[in-house]
Chains A and B, each alone.
Chain A
Amino acid sequence: MNEPLQLSEDQCDCLQEIVNVAMGQAGDSLARLLGVFVTLSVPKIGILSPADVRRLVGQGCVSATRQAFQDGRGKDGLRGEALIVFGDSSFRELADLLDYDEDMEGAAEHELLLDISNVLNGACLTGIADQLGEELFYSAPSILGEGKRVAATLEQDRLQWERALSVQINYRLENRSFHCDLLLLMPDSAISLLAGKLDQQLEDL
């Protein structure tokens, strides 16, 4: 493995700014979609190793979903997988926000998780991509697993990525609160590309 890949302080600041803007937009979209006030904490940005991710996911994780994203460049482009790790099981009360009529059990609960993941991933990633002048395409989200099985899945999967860009987000909705961690797992080549993009942004300032 190469030298541990790190973003410079300037790059981190720039990314933080971009993510702040993206999440602000995401929060706004969510509020419009759900019809409630949404407050977001300032997202925490970090670069994690697979071991860090497993540790994070292993801690009281209830469910996790994954969704692939990529730009138009193919293998060497900006691409990766967005993981959303849900930390508690308060989704039931979110169900009415997405107008689910059915009993929130089994499949319907999964579908709700997938819908929320899609909204969060889409809002956050599109926000970031827009600011970088990129366009991203998404696969359908899928359930990675629940409870201990998530950690086991990550353990078993031959992990193709070396670093994950982690964006930890706290959402507070009016009278409800839930938090989740959004992890952008990207191959080193994609993180390098992102770093290059950030440098461009910095130069433009």
Chain B
Amino acid sequence: MTELSEAALRDLVDRLDTGVFVLNRELEVLFWNNFMAANSGMPAIEIVGHRLTERFPELPERWLRKKVETVFVLRNRSFTAWEQRPYLLRFHHNRPVTGGVEHMYQNCTFSPCRNAEGEVETVVVTLQDVTDLAMAHRALELAKEQLAQSSRLDGLTGLFNRGYWEHCLAGEFKRSLRSGAPLALIIFDLDHFKVINDTFGHLAGDEVLRGVGERLRAILRETDIAGRYGGEEFGVIATDCEVAGACVLAERIRAGMEALSFAYEGQAIRVTVSLGIAGNDPAVDDYQKLIAGADDALYRSKREGRNRFTAYHSG
């Protein structure tokens, strides 16, 4: 035997790990291979001779008609890719256990099928399961996003790290210069943090910093941007906020931290914070000056007995 019989060819198409089906111009199904039957739950006998859209009414019919028509008119292949259209027909994926996906991702090809006279009479559609590819791609995207996130975050507190926080401040400052919207900056620092470290050890100190970060997140509005500015120093960018509003926020932070109590080896560790506030009055033309102003006010709070806030006044 030197040539495959028609039956053997048909068997071959049925054994493919790819969906193969044939449509005429009216979208009637002329052929439906095993892959299609197994994945759709629709045996060939029930669909051959019927319109595809009649059996799968969820298909976007207008679009599909045009897609198939393109192949007839241009006598060219046409494609769909999972990135843009996750699937043509919603099939279950073959990972019922390892899962993580709702459906099979598919790449499809619509090819012209010519008859003996060279006329395009039908369109053969192949449907490839690219779920693994899509999953790998998604995992990669997720990893990239996490990497970008972690390069912005302070590992201990989960707040933004200094580099990213300053980047945000620079951006918000520019925006407020343009729009004329107020902007306030709060910088605060834990009182006598060195004593906590020396008395209870660095692990306890880390626990305190983590707790302060957590409480800070709970206090802030969604539009406030918090970062760990230094060892035990934190910064809050209060957007669209006058100094008066920042004073209210600062008091909430002060009171919130004062109320914290950390249980450590049977003892209670208490903390207080000192805060400095600066707003972007017209004299401030550079975000560094905003930081300098808030720092200045912070040291005033320290000098005046700690556990308090001070707003910066130039001059």
Contact = CB atoms under 8 A, between A and B. Distances in A.
Contacts of B70: 33, 115, 119
A49 interface: no
B60 A119 contact: no
B81 A142 contact: yes
Contacts of B80: 111
Interface stretch (B44-52, B71-79, B242-250, B291-299): B71-79
B85 interface: yes
B14 interface: no
Nearest to A143: B83
A50 interface: no
A101 B76 contact: no
Given A140-B81, A141-B79, A142-B81, A29 B74 contact: yes
Contacts of B83: 107, 110, 143
A32 B69 CA distance: 10
A122 B84 contact: no
B63 A119 contact: no
B76 A33 contact: no
A97 B79 CA distance: 17
A100 B74 contact: no
Contact of A114 (B69, B81, B109): B81
B73 A126 contact: no
A99 interface: yes
A32 B76 contact: no
Contacts, number: 59
Given A33-B73, A99-B63, A111 B78 contact: no
Nearest to A136: B76
A140 B76 CA distance: 11
Contacts of B75: 126
Contacts of B62: 99, 101
Contacts of A126: 74-76
A48 B29 CA distance: 46
A140 B60 contact: no
A56 to B, nearest CB: 26
B92 interface: no
A118 B76 contact: yes
Instruction: With a 10 A CB-CB cut-off, give which of A29, A99, A126, A138 has the most chain B CB atoms.
Output: A99
B60 to A, nearest CB: 6
Given A115-B78, A140-B81, A142-B81, A29 B73 contact: yes
A107 B84 contact: yes
Contacts of B107: 140
A99 B62 CA distance: 6
Q: Chain A interface secondary structure, helix, strand, loop or mixed?
A: helix
A132 interface: no
B79 A140 contact: yes
A194 B39 CA distance: 45
Contact of B79 (A32, A108, A114, A143): A114
B74 to A, nearest CB: 5
Nearest to B66: A99
B65 interface: yes
A146 to B, nearest CB: 13
B106 to A, nearest CB: 12
A73 to B, nearest CB: 19
Contacts of B66: 33, 98-99
Interface string A89-113: 0000000001111100001101100
B69 to A, nearest CB: 7
A101 B62 CA distance: 8
Contacts of B67: 115
A123 B84 contact: no
Interface string A66-105: 0000000000000000000000000000000011111000
Given A101-B62, A101-B63, A140-B107, A122 B85 contact: no
B76 A110 contact: no
Given A111-B84, A142-B81, A99 B65 contact: yes
17 contacts: A29-B73, A98-B66, A101-B60, A101-B63, A107-B83, A107-B85, A110-B83, A110-B84, A111-B80, A111-B81, A111-B85, A119-B70, A126-B74, A126-B76, A141-B79, A142-B81, A143-B83
Interface of A: 29, 32-33, 98-102, 107-108, 110-111, 114-115, 118-119, 122-123, 126, 138, 140-143
Interface of B: 60, 62-63, 65-67, 69-70, 73-81, 83-85, 107, 109
Given A33-B73, A101-B63, A118-B77, 6 more contacts: A100-B63, A110-B84, A118-B79, A122-B74, A122-B77, A123-B74
